[in-house]
Structure 1
Amino acid sequence: MYKLMITLVMLSMVFCSSGQGLTSNRTIVSGGTNRNYKLGLPFAESVMPPGLSVIFVFHGQGGNSAGINATTNFTAKAIEHGFLAVFPDAISGVWDKNVFSPDATDDVLFIKDLITALENQYAINSNKIYATGFSDGAAFVYRLAAEAADKIKAFAPVAGLLQLNGYNWFANYGNAANPGFRKVPILHIHGTGDNATATAYPDPGNTPNDWTEYPLYLFSYPSCNTATYNAATVDNIVSGVRVMTFCSTPVIKLVGVQGLGHTWPNTSNSNYDATAQIINFFELNKISAGIQPSLLHVDGKYLKDDCNENIILRGVNLGSIYYAYSGGDWELSKFEEIAKTGANSVRIVLTKQYTYTYVYNGTAWVPGVINNTTAANLEALLQACLGKKMIPILELHDYTGQPSDNALNGANGAVAWWARPDIKDLLLRYQNYLIINLANEPSPSVNISAAEKLSYYQANKTAILTMRNAGYTCPLMIDGLHWGKDHTFFLDYGAALLNDDPVHNLLFSVHLYWPKPSSGAPWWTATDAEVTNRFSQMDASNLPFVFGELAAYDVQSANYEINYPLIMELSQQYEFGWLVWWWRGTSNANALNMTNSGNYNDLFGHGLVMATSSPYSIAKTSYIPGKLNNGICNTVLPISELQLHALTQNCATILSWQGNTSHVSSYHLERSYNGVRYNTYEINEGGIVNYKIKTEDQASTVYYRLKEIRKDNTVKFSNVVTIHNTCFNQPKIYPNPVSDYLIVDNLSIGEKLEVFDIYGKVLIKMTTSNKKTQIKLPGLAKGIYLLKTKNTVHKFIKM
């Protein structure tokens, strides 16, 4: 929310002005000599994120950096996958490739110096540096495998061989006992028709023989005790291509492209795309082992879990950081209170670095410093939220209203914090049910231009790729432009962002501070008709829209009214998720508080409407997915012999069942308003044999079932009982007070409606054609009016 501004100290940085793509020549001094290279930049240099993977690409004899880029297409792939491509130039076009040559170390030194320079300039990921090259460059890749394996993780030589310079390999290096030896992954790619001098295909007879498979056996023998490949490991993955595996750990393979000569394999000269296969071999698109993959994924407009259930987010924002004063509990106790609404999600407000001269301690502002969010704080929040079967949505509030490039991708930006080792290591363990909102409203714009939309797209693309490179597979939530209010940015660039994301797992968040024009609000105002039209546009796009902040007012030194009941109804109609801003603020005077104490029993005003009383409230529309709620998919619920009984008396329902204390630890009574989506209504611990619960639901049809938690932690379910309660079939009107449109629900088709003033003058007459209708009121003056239905007279206030 942009109303709560946080002072953030940013470090200034100076960037070069290069844009995305292949750069002109760059120069460093190595060994007293100027050495040239080019870069394939995946992003504009001004927004280059830290932690990028790097691929060195070495040209052949007589070649150069521009030529090998044109041959291999690595710059285009760098842009597509978000890594940094490096194209060094050899002196006079020839690499020093003889292993252990005492007078030929300059090129190895050059590459090590270049790695250091890139670490200093771009903060590259030093653990994800790779090397490939063609012909003479491939021979140099082999030299680097022997002499720079401390810097480079894996190697992919194409159409080149190791040159030993007359030295005894095993005596000088190829011995696992040699302290200089390192086991390295190698993907050797070669055309079987390559007969060029010193680069002939190393397996001419297509049969295992340790000398003909040179140089692979020189690396496989000390790595995994194999001098050649086993014929049984030949893998004919593509017609005309043989893959021979020497080692599995580390992976050492020889790829033979049948009939191809001395050239780089691609789809125009063979069935093998060497560039794409090298990128796959370097695992630039894979998740590191041990990382918990996300169980949440986006499919069209819907968020789904691994049971393929649609999840429509219904929840609140929780300002935990504002209660993190010395001795505070970070609002951990409030997750239980929020869960009583039936919410399936909580957007948790975090900051990474800010201080207040004074902090609110629950009753007063006192001197102090709010603690920065640590991994330990974060884990406590995650456990509290997930423990109540709600999806945590983490957002960083430091960047509210900050320019998007630095806010997202700067050295002190949001992505750098999410990628911080202690934070990342924690979140990767929890990302099965986790959503990361990259930064809160990183856009202070009011008048949105096409250029600003393009810049915001590029900043978010950079952020997405950096997060994926860090191992995050969970949904990433992106806020709209214009303090989050603008939905049109996503209509223009949403599909492109989804396509840019390697795992296609994004949520587009709009903050619905769209006040009524009549309130005089100076911001993103909208009539009810305009709100309805915006919803129609978002639905037609089939993009995954959610509303990260929904409020009753737009607070800009005055409370500008928002027609939130209409927004709630439209959200239900179009199946869009929303989260209320907020559960409680830092004072009881906060106009947007749902509850001043943070306790469920103290809900009031719009908070009560949004949480429970509206037919479109959290309580009546939220659904906790079966996998998160029960640990199993709802389609395969195990049924017990337990019987749930129901009796309706005087507008109340009495539910009862016979408990079993011998093997059951607790019973969870679950309730649904549509017979599909159930949430916990009440929990009864074991120890009671005869259970009886009285409920009073203000809905005409309610469904109940029992979830039986057994002492061996297995789960079973009872029968479902359906309650039809005629006490709550009376017509309902909302919102009240009302501005433009009064909604009347639970009507009979053909029912006559009359609106009259307090003097009894009939002002509006109409006959209903649906069970729910809207009555237009723009022509009525402010005041008190009466609506007469078939059996009831309702009072409402026109604002």
Structure 2
Amino acid sequence: MKKQLILAALLLCVGADVTCPSADGNTWSVSDRSFRIRCGVNHAGVVLSTSLTHSFEDCLQLCSLDSRCVGINHSGSVCHLKSSIDDTLSIASKWSAASLVASTRSRKTKTRSSTKTTITASSTSPLPTSSLISGCGASLPKGMKPGGPSQTFSIITADGRNRTYILYIPTQYASSTPSPLIFGFHGLGANSHDIEQQTRFSQSKVNVDHIAVYPDGWEHHWEGAPYSTPKLSDVSFVEQLLHHLQGQLCIDTRRVYATGHSNGGGFTGTLACNPSASNFIAAFAAHSGAFYQATKPSPCQSDQVLIRCQPSRPLPFMEIHGDKDPQIPYLGGVHNGECMPSVPHYVSEWGIRNKDTENEKVQLPQGNVRYTWGKKDRVVHIMVKGLDHSWANQFHNFTAGPVILDFFRKWSL
């Protein structure tokens, strides 16, 4: 009820059209704050928090409730609140931006460095309000407790489908402190229970701090493969599921991650290459990924397959693969009627796309090899010698789950 009253009050205060492109240049005011709207651009600056909202206006309302917020970037349902912005604008047709132009509540200062102007908000303010959709402070779903057994839940998506998922709450979860979250996507013909057992993220000896969510693919598969359900957007499903979970749990929206096995690993790549999903997921890790690119099977040149990918930013990506994988061969080849890229080619393309020019090859125990790109090892590939298509759990003393968790802990939006 309280949130509804806040929304109603905010709506009464709006003084301008906030629908792009007609709103470009308008000033949007609420209470003691005013924002200048820009359409088709993206502001540079420091991200305070990332949330999923229903509209550009909802994103503005979130910013208006947090005195540290001086601007936003919004696309689709992705809302970035900014604690500082500068006058660097990039043209981005699917994005809208807004910047604080007047406020009697927050301290506004301008500093110049070269040709950039930076606006910084007051440092004394409440916690960031993913407020209109935040589950911080809420009770856990019935029957759940930190470190307790996982449970299966479902949501009805915008297309009317009933989609199920398994939810695990880690032992260190507290409703007052935002927790990171991992999505785990199963392989073709498998289900949420399978990927939960493979990753072991629902075991406290492996994972103590990340909320783990294991969705079920529609008809046991995911978007991006030649056998995927036509016109079904699993990217949209993940977006809707995260939005739903944000209303129930205290989630650190700057630390949301995605991993998956086989077809689920390929879908992890689909999410990473999606301009919307790559804005609300901080880092990605695929295991034995099936990275279909809709490439004709003949002639099949696996080291030259065009990788169709449009991420919104340079991003962290890890891939783990066995060199003896018979289903998704390490060196590529024809599979399910398509020419698959070789794993080295697919991963190196991430380094090129990110402009991570520095790369390194390290020999690991048991003949495994670790390849990295970028100064901070933003792109990582581990070739597991002798491994087939299985998820690596104690395979010659190599276990993938903890390696993936360590990779995720390095990155945030």
How would you bin the TM-score normalised by the shorter chain?
A: 0.5 to 0.7
Aligned residue number for residue 16 of structure 1: 141
* Separation of aligned partners in 2, 1:102 and 1:181: 25
User: What letter corresponds to residue 318 of structure 2 in structure 1?
Assistant: L
- 1:278 aligns to 2:278 (yes or no): no
The residue identity in structure 2 corresponding to 1:33 is R
Offset of 1:42 from its aligned partner? Answer: 1.1
Name the aligned partner's letter for residue 155 of structure 1.
F
Instruction: Tell me which amino acid in the other structure corresponds to 1:16.
Output: P
Shift of 1:24: 2.5
Give the deviation of 1:80 after TM superposition: 4.2
**Cα distance in 1 between the residues matched to 2:404 and 2:307:** 31
Matches within 5 A, 1:454-533: none
State how far apart, in whole Å, the 1-side matches of 2:369 and 2:155 are.
41
- Tell me which residue corresponds to 1:263: 390
- Superimposed CA distance per residue, residues 426-477 of structure 1 (whole angstroms, 9 cap, x where no aligned partner): xxxxxxxxxxxxxxxxxxxxxxxxxxxxxxxxxxxxxxxxxxxxxxxxxxxx
1:40 correspondence with 2:168: yes
Match of 2:250 among 109, 123, 129: 123
* Candidates 220, 223, 243, aligned match of 2:351: 220
Instruction: Identify if the C-alpha distance between structure 1 residues 97 and 15 changes in structure 2 by more than 3 Å, giving closer, same or farther.
Output: same
| Structure 1 residue 248: Cα displacement | 3.5
Distance of 1:112 and 1:254 partners within structure 2: 27
TM-score after normalising by structure 1: 0.30
- When normalised by structure 2's length, the TM-score is 0.56
2:212 aligns to what?
Answer: 85
Query: Is 1:182 matched with 2:313?
Result: yes
For structure 2, the residue ranges without an aligned partner over 5 or more in a row are 1-135, 297-303, 334-340
Higher relative contact order (CA 8 A, sep 6+): 2
Q: Please give the secondary structure, in 2, of the residue aligned with 1:215.
A: helix
What is the RMSD computed on CA atoms of the aligned residues? 3.4
- Superposition pairs for residues 660-671 of structure 1, below 5 Å? none
Alignment partner, residue 68 of structure 1 = 195
CA distance 1:163–1:51, shift in 2 (3 Å): same
> Are the aligned partners of 1:183 and 1:250 in contact in 2 as well (CA < 8 Å)?
no
Q: 1:108 to 1:238 in 2, by over 3 A?
A: same
Q: Residue type matched to 2:393 in 1? A: N
Query: How far apart are 1:77 and its partner, in Å?
Result: 4.2
1:261–1:79 CA distance, 2 compared to 1 (3 A):
closer
Equivalent residue in structure 1 for 2:272, among 145, 168, 175 = 145
Identify if the C-alpha distance between structure 1 residues 121 and 256 changes in structure 2 by more than 3 Å, giving closer, same or farther. Answer: same
CA contact (8 A) 2:261 2:391 kept: yes
Partner of 1:705: none
Percent of pairs with identical residues: 27
Write the mapping of 1:508-657 to structure 2, written as runs, cut at 5 A: none
SS in 1 for 2:284: strand
Closer/same/farther in 2, CA of residues 75 and 240 from structure 1, 3 Å limit = same
Alignment of 1:165 onto 2:294: yes
Q: Identify the structure with the greater strand proportion.
A: 2
Contact 2:190 2:220 in 1 (8 A): yes
Q: Which amino acid aligns with 1:222?
A: R
Largest Rg, 1 or 2? 1
| CA distance 1:29–1:250, change in 2 (3 Å) | farther
Q: Distance in 2 between matches of 1:261 and 1:138?
A: 15
Alignment match, 1:29: 156
Aligned pair count reads 258
Q: Aligned-pair distance for 1:271?
A: 2.4
Amino acid in structure 2 at the alignment position of 1:192 = D
Give the letter aligned to residue 151 of structure 1: F
Q: Distance between the aligned counterparts of 1:68 and 1:151, measured in 2?
A: 22
Q: Are the counterparts in 2 of residues 203 and 213 from structure 1 also a CA contact under 8 Å?
A: no
What whole-Å deviation, never above 9, does each CA across 1:483-538 have from its counterpart, x for those lacking one? xxxxxxxxxxxxxxxxxxxxxxxxxxxxxxxxxxxxxxxxxxxxxxxxxxxxxxxx
| Structure 1 contact 257–270 (Cα < 8 Å) conserved | no
The separation in 1 between residues aligned to 2:185 and 2:199, in whole angstroms, is 10
Change (3 A) 1:106 1:171: closer
Aligned counterpart, 2:44: none
**Secondary structure of 2:187 counterpart:** coil
Alignment of 1:246 onto 2:246: no
1:236 to 343, 363, 367: 363
1:157-210 per-position Cα deviation (integer Å, ceiling 9, x unaligned)? 000132122499879645xxxxx54211111001111121xx111489xxxxx9
- Segments of structure 1 that go 5 or more residues without pairing to the other structure are 1-10, 175-179, 205-209, 289-799
